[in-house]
Amino acid sequence: MMNGAQYKESLKKLKPEIHCNGRIITDVVDDPMTKPHVNSAAMTYELAFDPEYKDLMVVNSSLTGKPINRFTHLHQSTEDLINKVKMLRMIAQKTGTCFQRCVGFDAMNATFIVTHKVDKECGTNYHQRFIDYMKYVQENDLMVAGSMTDPKGDRSKKPGQQVDPDLFVHIVEKRDDGIVVRGAKAHQTGMVNSHEMLILPTTNLGADDKDYAVACAIPVDAPGVLHIFGRQTNDDRRLQGDIDTGNSEYAIVGGETLTVLNDVFVPWERVFMCGEYQYAQEYVEAFASYHRQNYGGCKVGVADVIIGATASMAEYNGVPNASHIKDKIIEMIHLAETMYNCSIACSCEGRKTEAGNYYVNTLLANTAKLNCTRTMYEISRLAHDIAGGFIATLPYEADLKDPKIGAYINKYFAANPNVSTEDRFRMARLLENMTGGTALAESMHGAGSPQAMRVMLLRETNLESKKALAKRLAKIKEAPVKKA
């Protein structure tokens, strides 16, 4: 296993092509736009060597028997699923943001399930290829970016019906030694500071879309791959100082990119689906359910920090004991723990798959994420309510530090005499950072839009059995079916 420093050193050996605001990022570890995201991901490595968190962070590989970082693990029990959620909450408490590594974690477990089924029913050998790939990932403790979301183009049309066929990743050539893929993956969390990407299909596919049924592993710096780094709320503040950034060490969310695949060659040993369109929907659902499980872990860890910052702001404002403040903080706690309950529940209700790893309860996992699309907004609203409007109108950090102007800011933004104006500033900026813009949009659309969860809830709920329960109690007998 790598520690945080070794992870950063491993990134320096890669040469990905990264475009950002009209320039090229040549060093993701130290560039101010990507450094906070690297720091956050590094926490997933560093904590594996902390004795306090060893039970959460380290497991024995089911493939080699060696100790590995949990982020490269194939779940072997419901306890593994539960510990995953606990681990995510713990790391988020320490970073206050996305640490990016869970997307690949979920993609690998979903791929393990689907490749086993495809091999069983189609006579392919994808599963053994993937096992070999997993051993490589585990042995080298790699960070893998799960790559599912395509740009999608016209949402009313399937991939094969698009005017531009490249709006979904697809196979453009099959060769004796591998395949060539073209297209792009959007909103790619942690991509620029990953070692590999695991490409997955993004939607249900038909026979006309078989070239879009592709799963494969590609190094982030493979020939033909380029990354376009996305903007985040207040990201330019990273170039200007410490206080205004809010969370200067770890930034906001996951450093998402648009990753373009310009005729990228993939050798056969790294191809895990090639035209088996019938299994695309199952692939999507398996990944999505694993990923939606996460939100009651990582987002609750983020919520823990928001709640702590909000309670601190109440203290800094001089009103920690006001009854309405206490009631609102209690409501924030209730909302956070409700999200956590759902993720723990979907883990406890998990089951062993035919492939041998464990899978969450799909209905409850989707419930966990649907809750998150609402509760993080409400937690943020309550934080704004308690903290006060000044978190949105504070002067610049440079003015706070100015010898002349700073005196006025210190004087007129003072509140609790036991708390410095600078500390009040810092806590306000942290709240501003964590409760607006990019962070909230990710809570809504990360792991799929709310409508995607609603579709899954209806699909996974047996309405006919619920109707039968009601009819039995109401003593309503089913009318016999009339024969034609």
Residues recorded for the chain? 484
Q: How far is CA 382 from CA 35, 116, 306, 431, in A?
A: 31, 46, 10, 11
Domain ranges of the chain: 4-277, 292-472
Q: Which residues pair with 228 in a beta bridge?
A: 19, 258
Active-site position among 126, 250, 290, 295: 295
Cα Rg, the chain, nearest whole Å:
24
Active site residue 346: no
Distance CA 426, CA 367 (A): 35
Active site residue 442: yes
CATH superfamily of 292-472: Butyryl-CoA Dehydrogenase, subunit A, domain 3 (1.20.140.10)
Q: How far is CA 57 from CA 85, 86, 249, 329, in A?
A: 11, 10, 22, 31
* This prediction's pTM: 0.94
Distance CA 452, CA 460 (A): 12
Per-residue pLDDT tens, the chain, 484 aa: give them. Answer: 999 999 999 999 999 999 999 999 999 999 999 999 999 999 999 999 999 999 999 999 999 999 999 999 999 999 999 999 999 999 999 999 999 999 999 999 999 999 999 999 999 999 999 999 999 999 999 999 999 999 999 999 999 999 999 999 999 999 999 999 999 999 999 999 999 999 999 999 999 999 999 999 999 999 999 999 999 888 888 888 889 888 989 977 788 999 999 999 999 999 999 999 999 999 999 999 999 999 999 999 999 999 999 999 999 999 999 999 999 999 999 999 999 999 999 999 999 999 999 999 999 999 999 999 999 999 999 999 999 999 999 999 999 999 999 999 999 999 999 999 999 999 999 999 999 888 778 888 887 888 888 888 888 899 999 999 999 999 998 877 676 6
Residue among 367, 84, 434, 397 at smallest CA distance from 233: 434
Active site residue 372: no
Active site residue 102: yes
CB of 255 closer than 8 Å to CB of 229: yes
Active-site position among 37, 72, 97, 98: 98
Q: Which residues pair with 59 in a beta bridge?
A: 68
Active site residue 126: no
Residue among 192, 188, 167, 171 at smallest CA distance from 180: 171
Active site residue 98: yes
Active site residue 216: no
Largest CA distance in the chain: 91
Q: Considering the domain 4-277 in this protein, what is its CATH number?
A: 2.40.110.10
Active site residue 295: yes
So what's the pLDDT on residue 481?
67
So what's the pLDDT on residue 111?
98
Residue type, 114: V
Distance CA 156, CA 6 (A): 46
**CA torsion, points 67, 69, 74, 75, in degrees to nearest 10?**
90
Q: Give just the sign of the alpha carbon dihedral 218, 101, 375, 431.
A: negative
Which residues does 311 contact at the CB level (< 8 Å), separation at least 6?
Answer: 320, 329
Active-site position among 37, 170, 195, 291: 291
For residue 153, what are its two tokens? 């183009």
Distance CA 57, CA 237 (A): 33
